[in-house]
A and B are shown apart, each in its own frame.
Chain A
Amino acid sequence: MANELIRFENVGKTYITGSVTYEALHDVNLSIDEGELVVILGPSGAGKSTLLNLVGGLDGATKGKILFGDEDITTFNDTRLGKFRAVDVGIIFQFYNLVPTLTALENVSLMRDLGLDIMDPLEALDMVGLAAQKDKFPSQMSGGQQQRVSIARAIAKRPRLLLCDEPTGALDTNTGKEVLKLLRDQSSVHHRTVVMVTHNALFQEIADKVVTVKNGTVENITVNEHPKEPEELIW
């Protein structure tokens, strides 16, 4: 049996803006195992991104516990959260979020500046098939290439958890499949936990576990015994 990496216990998140209070998440209970590829599905405004932000320590919960291994990350202060994100979490954004004034290689090398013992940035780029494009700036690359640089940046530090926020949202079908394949490999080959937020229901077919979020809470959790390979998806 796989080890549990993340556990949500009655987690809630409320935003207060002036006199307006908005409950983005409530009573979330969830468990994610090590090496698992988890797809979080849900319509726009369901709370998917909030859930992802809480897992990654980008935001703090207002209620409940989020256990990462043995540690409750809701008790971390900003410094500890920053360290947690730097060491344990790799994040892949929908719009890649590369630093436009740094080349592909420099964007990956940025992780070394965190003082981490990361893999060779060129090797990370090679893993995503972009070693030849190392000196290009983001503006000189296609969306798919930029997303692969973003993946290289995330995996270079060998995180235990990869968080992906709509990673194919800005990509065409074929490029999207290539990116999904890379993410799938992170889970199946490198035994890294991958949590992917998407509104595309099709992606549940490649997941080990599918978490459906609706109206700020987990509506359904499905375990997929035989996930498909990304190449098999048709959309």
Chain B
Amino acid sequence: MTRTLRKKLFRDLKSNFVQFLSIFIMCFFAMFILQGFDATVEGYAVALDEYCLETDFSDIVTTSDGFNTDDLALIKSLPSVKTAELRASSVGKVRLSQEKKVEFNFINENNISRMHLYEGEPFEPGMNGIWLDRDFATAEKIGVGDILSLTCDNVEFSEPVRGIMDNPDHIYYIVDNTFDDVERGAYGYAFLDSGEYPGKKLVFDSVYVKLKDVKNQYHLTNEEKSLINRTAEELKKLLQKNNLSVTTKMKDAGYDAIVQDIKSNMTLERVFPVLFITIAALGIITTMTRIVMKQRTIIGTLKALGFSEGTVMLHYISYSVVVSLVGGILGAIAGWFTLGDLLSYFFTFYYIFPEVGMRVSMRVVLVLLFLVVLSGVTNYLSCRSLLTKRASEILRPAPPVVTGAGFLEKTFIWKHLDFVTKWNIRDINRNRLRTAAGILGITLTSSLTLTSFGANELLKGMEKWQFHQLSPSAYQIGFVPNTNLDTVYEYSKKYRGQMIQEKQATLSSRNGETIQLTATVVDEGNLFRFQDATGAFVKLPRHGIAVSRRAAESLKVGIGDEVSFANTDRKGRGSGKVELIYISPNPQGIAMSRSVYERMENEFTPSTVLTNMTVPASLATDKEEVVSVVSTERSIQAMRRKSSGTSEEVLYTMVIAIIVGIVVMYNLGVLSFVEKTREIATLKVLGFKTSGIRWILQQQNIFVTGLGTAIGLSLGLKMLMMLMSSLSVDDDYIYRISPMSYLLAFFLSFVLSLIVNSVLSSKVKDINMVEALKGVE
């Protein structure tokens, strides 16, 4: 574009500031949200991939009561297996200023899921010493060379710290299953050579397997996934072991959790930008069509002066291209430093990586390019009809467009309508696109506002729901896996508690759906309750199985269908009819009474006891069978911390919704007002009062805003469900939005629009009738 036309471009942008600001803001927020989510998603995806590639993260882990070298040889003999190695894990203690829990991993070699060493010496078979995880070492100020006093399997021993490391099996690390709260550095994990085991006989409880033809980690191909699954099935058949469990890479707790988080963030990364880009495109059409119409004479003159059609076309296309490009780039930068930083920060609560940072992905570049191209194409389509005409034709004034009220004008109602209504109906019909853009903008604002209010209510309600309604206990005592029933029963009796068994299980339905979720078995008591989909408290079925709502959705089952389960530790399996669909915030899966479970010839092995009596925290360190004592207060704090990230996202959504709403309303208001200036001046000349004219403008606005708000509010609940289910795949909520939230969302969109329109229509009194009616152009 030429220099002078460039000047014209920037001055035109300035003189149509509000219209272009609206397009700018839509593009800004589209890229803001996209980049915010994408930077984190891409950062963690790359970190996961690099970390797993660097350390040769295992493809399959199989656990049982015990493996020996013969088992290892058997596994290695499988044609698809590249290598395998034994590992023994045990939760023990380290004596520091106070005792802390540490998971000891005894190994013969470390070629699969290798340690990532930060300092110290690399592991060599036969070496003494301990390799400790970085978070724990940092929290406890432990360094290489320190001698640690340890306890494992009731035997005390000491080891020098050989290295500070992290390990890909511990990307998401909870010391045992009774903890549901990741507290980085509060408990540790460590590696030692198997020769350093202080007890009598080391039992290897897991085998780590690496396959030949699996080269990728995060970007697993379908062939690689099916090879892993096939080999896992082969291993199940090959190894006839007690409590055998075979876990593929895809089902690994850490790997799966972060992959699911990445996926859910990617959903949000797509949905919101699509909405904003759509409104931006509508904004471009309405704005550019009007600017080109307004500059009809200038366009004709430029063509008459000899400017080619291409030059003139390029000049006008560049308006929206420049605005969307600048808006998109600035939005991406702002998204990176604010939303991206925030999301990244929340990821660090849960996931442990040697190095992780936000990254720019090709997705962002492609979407930015798409945005700019879409903006240019939309602009081209809006302007081409005028720009492609001959100079002489463009220089002639445009013939007036004759548009009535359509079919309405032919009905008997038309005759009974007053002047104001007729005027507005015709105006809406003449400016259908502007009206559509207005309705869409207000719909987005009201639905987003309602969604954010609803989400806020939901998160606040979760605490009450989970800890006061469903599980109103004061303490939860966690037990070492497979602690016998009599032992747990003693605690249950002492603390007047209720015994619960929670295990990972493979759930299947008759229609072939299979998922891995939690199978909960509940003993008699009133500290673990259930609610049906309406929120009413219900008892577990006396004969059948209860399925959580989200699990039922995944399994595609309903009341009366049959489901089967198989605990991953191979202790417990069965099937039964679904007799209840219950709602539960977490975990999702199936639940049944102890009697139903035992009727299936399973042994009840409770993992926790819930109680309302005070339980001393020292039980966890003093008693070998107790692994944790968690107070409800602590669980509430963990939940608050977990939901604080979502709350921040909700706050962002609300602020963006309000800004978008104000900008859309103001922009369309200005456009509409400018277009009507001559008509308003005519009405003033004819003697209409200012208040009467303002009412004409307000009436149309009430219709547009009212319709947009009504659609938005009706979509709000659906959007809330989509947002919350995307944010957390394992959680369920009672999706209810209070009348107060509806009222606030209504106020923010509808009333705000009336205010914006009132501000604009107040300019009616300032319209200079003589000036406004001068000349056609």
Which A residues lie at the B interface, using CB under 8 A? 53, 56, 58-60, 78-79, 82-87, 89, 91, 93, 95, 97, 99-102, 106, 109-114, 153
Contacts and interface: CB of A to CB of B under 8 A. Distances in A.
7 contacts: A58-B392, A84-B306, A91-B305, A97-B300, A106-B8, A109-B3, A114-B305
A112 B777 CA distance: 27
A58 B395 contact: yes
A113 B2 contact: yes
The 7 closest A-B pairs by CB, nearest first: A86-B306, A113-B2, A101-B11, A59-B392, A97-B301, A58-B392, A85-B306
B230 to A, nearest CB: 65
B614 interface: no
Contact of A82 (B5, B15, B308): B308
A59 B3 CA distance: 28
Contacts of B309: 78, 82
A87 B393 CA distance: 21
B304 interface: yes
Contacts of A78: 309
A234 to B, nearest CB: 29
Nearest to B9: A101
B437 interface: no
B7 A83 contact: no
A106 B390 contact: no
Interface string B361-404: 00000000000000000000000000000111101000000000
Contact of B301 (A59, A82, A83, A99): A99
A190 B309 CA distance: 31
Nearest to B10: A101
Given A101-B11, A102-B7, A106-B4, A95 B305 contact: no
Contact of A97 (B5, B15, B297, B307): B297
B393 A59 contact: yes
Nearest to B15: A101
Nearest to A110: B4
B114 interface: no
Interface of B: 2-5, 7-8, 11-12, 15, 297-298, 300-309, 390-393, 395, 777
A110 B7 CA distance: 10
Most buried by B among A58, A60, A86, A93: A58
Contacts of B298: 97, 99-100
A97 B304 CA distance: 10
Given A102-B8, A102-B11, A82 B300 contact: no
B522 to A, nearest CB: 75
A93 B391 contact: no
Contacts of A111: 305
A109 B304 contact: no
Nearest to B775: A95
Nearest to A17: B399
B723 to A, nearest CB: 44
B777 A113 contact: no
A165 to B, nearest CB: 9
Given A82-B306, A86-B305, A111-B305, A58 B297 contact: no
A59 B304 CA distance: 10
Nearest to B776: A95
Contact of A113 (B4, B391, B392): B4
Contacts of B395: 58, 93, 97
A26 B491 CA distance: 111
Contacts of A102: 4, 7-8, 11
A200 to B, nearest CB: 20
Given A59-B393, A113-B5, A93 B306 contact: no
Contacts of A60: 390
Contacts of A100: 298
A58 B2 CA distance: 22
Given A82-B303, A86-B306, A110-B4, 6 more contacts: A60-B390, A89-B306, A91-B305, A97-B297, A106-B4, A106-B8
Nearest to A60: B390
B307 A82 contact: yes
Contacts of A82: 303, 306-309
Given A85-B305, A87-B306, A114-B306, A95 B8 contact: no
A113 B4 CA distance: 7
Nearest to A49: B392
A105 B350 CA distance: 64
Most buried by B among A102, A109, A110, A111: A110
A91 B304 contact: yes
Contacts of A106: 4, 7-8
B10 to A, nearest CB: 9
A58 B777 contact: no
Most buried by A among B7, B305, B309: B305
B312 to A, nearest CB: 10
Contacts of A85: 304-306, 391
Nearest to A108: B4
A101 B13 CA distance: 10
Contacts of A153: 305
A53 B392 contact: yes
Contacts of A53: 391-392
A99 B8 contact: yes
A51 to B, nearest CB: 11
A87 B305 CA distance: 9
A118 to B, nearest CB: 11
Contacts of B15: 101
A219 B600 CA distance: 111
Contacts of A79: 308
Contacts of A112: 4
A146 to B, nearest CB: 13
A31 B243 CA distance: 107
Contacts of B307: 82, 86, 113-114
Nearest to A101: B11
Contacts of A84: 306
Contacts of A93: 301, 395
B737 to A, nearest CB: 48
B775 to A, nearest CB: 8
A111 B5 CA distance: 11
A58 B390 contact: yes
B759 to A, nearest CB: 26
Contacts of B305: 85-86, 91, 110-111, 114, 153
Contacts of B11: 101-102
Contacts of A86: 305-307
A110 B4 CA distance: 6
Contacts of B5: 110, 113
